[in-house]
């Protein structure tokens, strides 16, 4: 693989991560609810999932999962159910409209951080479209006969770019948190986030990936 091809992949990956998806919605929700630390741990959860899926694709495991239809369908419907769960939670929060006062960032509680990481990881690991992306896109930037090492370099580079973008997103959201956390604004954001998550789940349910 040439360095020019690697640069092309980096540019492609940078554009790709800017497209909002379920990970964007979950990171946004958790940052507004729990503050910068919660948002960062959610971003780390998403990136951990990318690392697992990219490594699995490089090792050939993803191709096996895609070929074994019952396993693939199980992952798909688990993703649909989880996105629906998060979407319903957000909409219920918007309907109640009851929010704790904003006292700064979230306290450094291990359980609080683990919950953020778990939501980020699960929202991404149960999306089979990510597996398909790695299987379909990575080989296009490789020369014939390229080894496992270059596959891992591409997959991990995408993970690093995604993490950098999500952490930047968290910083921006946290800076505007006092405005975004006003009750009327927050209810609108919760309702919008819930609808978006339900929409992603419905699209995943109806798509043949």
Give the model's pLDDT for residue 101: 58
pLDDT at 130 over 90: no
Structure tokens at 52: 């697992």
Higher-pLDDT residue of 99 and 91 is 91
Q: How many CA atoms lie within 13 A of 28 on its CB side?
A: 19
Distance of CA 90 to the CA centre of its chain: 17
Query: Quick one: what percent of the chain has pLDDT higher than 90?
Result: 17
Q: Rounded to the nearest 5 degrees, what angle is found at the Cα of 171, between the Cα atoms of 197 and 54? A: 60
Q: Spell out the alpha helix ranges (H) of the chain.
A: 3-17, 22-34, 36-59, 61-67, 69-96, 110-125, 128-137, 148-175, 177-180, 183-206
Give the model's pLDDT for residue 185.
74
Which pLDDT score, from 0 to 100, does residue 119 have? Answer: 92
pLDDT at 107: 55
Q: What average pLDDT does the segment 147-174 reach?
A: 88
Distance of CA 31 to the CA centre of its chain: 13
């Amino acid at each position: 693989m040439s360095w020019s091809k690697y640069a092309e992949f980096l540019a492609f990956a940078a554009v790709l991560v800017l497209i909002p998806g379920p990970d964007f919605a979950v990171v946004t929700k958790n940052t507004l609810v729990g503050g910068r630390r919660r948002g960062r741990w959610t971003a780390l959860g998403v990136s951990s999932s990318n690392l697992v899926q990219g490594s699995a694709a490089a090792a050939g495991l993803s191709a096996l999962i895609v070929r074994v239809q019952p396993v693939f369908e199980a992952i798909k419907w688990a993703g649909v159910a989880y996105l629906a769960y998060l979407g319903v939670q957000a909409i219920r929060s918007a309907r109640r409209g009851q929010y704790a006062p904003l006292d700064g960032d979230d306290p450094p509680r291990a359980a609080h951080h683990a919950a953020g990481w778990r939501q980020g990881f699960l929202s991404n690991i149960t999306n089979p479209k990510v597996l398909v992306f790695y299987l379909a896109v990575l080989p296009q930037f490789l020369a014939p006969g390229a080894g496992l090492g270059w596959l891992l370099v591409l997959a991990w580079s995408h993970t690093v770019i995604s993490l950098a973008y999500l952490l930047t997103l968290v910083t921006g959201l946290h800076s505007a948190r006092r405005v975004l956390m006003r009750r009327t604004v927050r209810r609108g954001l919760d309702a919008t986030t819930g609808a978006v998550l339900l929409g992603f789940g419905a699209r995943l349910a109806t798509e043949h990936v």
